[in-house]
Amino acid sequence: MIENTSPVLIIEGCAIATVDAGNTEYRAGHVIATHGVIRAVGPGPAPREAKLAPSGGGPAPRVIDGSGCLLTPGLVNTHHHLYQWIFRGLAQDSTLFDWLTHLYPRWARIDEEAVYAAAQAGLGWLALTGCTTSSDHHYLFPRGRGDLLGTTIIAARGIGLRFDPTRGSMDRGASAGGLPPDEVVEDLDAILEASQDAIGRYHDPRPGSLTRIALAPCSPFSASSELMIRTAELARDTGVRLHTHLAETADEEEFCTAQHGCTPAEYAESLGWLGPDVWLAHCVHLSDAAVKRFAATGTGVSHCPSSNARLGSGHAPVKALIDAGAPVGLGVDGPASQEAGMLVEELRSALYVSRLRAGAPDPDSALDARAALRLGTIGGARLLGRADEIGSLEPGKCADLALWRLDGLPHADIADPVAALVFGSPPPLKLLTVHGRPVVEDAQLLTADTAQLARAARYASDRMRAAG
């Protein structure tokens, strides 16, 4: 657990969007956190006695004036590919399958040093733009290139974010009818052994833990049916969650129909891949029946609107999923298909895409600003199985806090602070905390030198290009 330098943190004088079950908001309110846990949330200033130094000695509470700011839960990123940070700007006009074909040979060159540089840069930028928890779907493990999963975990610990990485996998190369080249896939038994090892080494199931592992075969066109089935068995035997890409493109639907005689959603269900311990990335091409099945089984969806738009994949039926009762969160997706790399922009993208799909800004058929904020906070927490710990500002939850400055030129005259955050340009952060520990303050990353992160990422990118 990360500890704050002072055991008590008080933020007051700010607008607050708690994102609790009732969407409680305060025009000017306070939050009190002790030892990284929220103890009180309410209107007006914090009680005077809460600001006093302990009578028995010890450090006084840290009190932050949040005037001109909006306090929200830290954002929760439910789908990412951190290694792709150093492969940005390539295949700019490709659809998914062409994009993958172009990039797989380049990704085959990654090694521990490159992945560490990419992960630090990507996580540092996520922190600077309001994210306190991130997942990562790492599924590429070229032989002899070091501990690529472990190095992302080390990077996350250095930056200070809560991190739920997945041990991804691919065992279906081109020679077996899959999309990836054979040199980037692994043997089934090796995958299962590595997955078991990752759970044993890194998974921390304790409440409020900083690291949890999930298992994540890559996709229906890169993972065999046996890998999907046996991974699900291993995950359920060990109590970890399951994740994969699904129904991202029309090409994938055609692939599944030709290979398996059914849609991607039907294929996932046939393998035991629907359930409350499963969250699926993209889900752009879902039938009405699939939406109902996801809701009935509690299967989660990570919506990645900017990546889907960049690759021309389409727009997911997010409002229909929410209305049906399915858990839905947001994902940045890989920086090579969404170069901005910030979850806060996905709030606005999700809202816009929903309204484009509906054909109108109608709250009965499309998202509004508060629904978008819910997707990026408590919605993501639900997908990761952390809704009791993070995702809303409520007593007993972890003090993962984002304090956004809305008193500058881009936002000061927007009367509704939640609209300013969602509709407006990404605001700077006055403060970002993970379990009460400051990670960003006054728009500066406290845990790493951003100039050094940029230099390391550029060096890694140049080195990967020079490799061939």
What pLDDT does residue 221 have? Answer: 87
- In sequence order, what DSSP letters do the residues of 191-206 get, joined into one string? HHHHHHHHHHHH---S
| Token pair of 229 as six digits | 């089935």
What pLDDT does residue 191 have? Answer: 98
Positive or negative, the CA dihedral 296, 250, 342, 437 is positive
- Which of 72, 24, 65 lies closest to 433, judged by CA? 72
Provide the b/e sequence for 188-207 (b: ≥16 CB within 10 Å). Answer: beebbebbeebbeebbeeee
What pLDDT does residue 30 have? Answer: 98
Which three-class secondary structure state does DSSP give residue 325? coil
What pLDDT does residue 3 have? Answer: 43
Distance CA 239, CA 443 (A): 38
Q: pLDDT tens for residues 110-141?
A: 999 999 999 999 999 999 999 999 999 999 99
| Token pair of 39 as six digits | 């103890």
- Residue labelled with tokens 């003090």: 399
Question: How many other C-beta atoms are found inside a 10 Å radius of the C-beta of residue 323?
Answer: 13
- Domains of the chain in start order, with CATH, are 8-73+391-445 (2.30.40.10), 75-383 (3.20.20.140)
What pLDDT does residue 177 have? Answer: 84
Residues in Cβ contact with 294 at an 8 Å cutoff, skipping those fewer than 6 apart: 265, 274, 283, 286, 300, 301, 321, 324, 326
pTM, whole model, 2 decimals? 0.97
Strand 37-43 versus strand 401-405 pairing type: unpaired
Evaluate whether 240 touches 212 at the Cβ level (below 8 Å).
Answer: yes
Strand 75-77 versus strand 37-43 pairing type: unpaired
- For the chain, first and last CA: distance in Å? 42
Q: What are the two backbone dihedrals, phi and then psi, of residue 331, each rounded to the nearest 5 degrees? A: -135, 145
Q: What are the two backbone dihedrals, phi and then psi, of residue 61, each rounded to the nearest 5 degrees? A: -55, 145
Q: pLDDT tens for residues 35-94?
A: 999 999 999 999 999 999 887 778 899 999 999 999 999 999 999 999 999 999 999 999
Positions of the chain with pLDDT under 50: 1-4
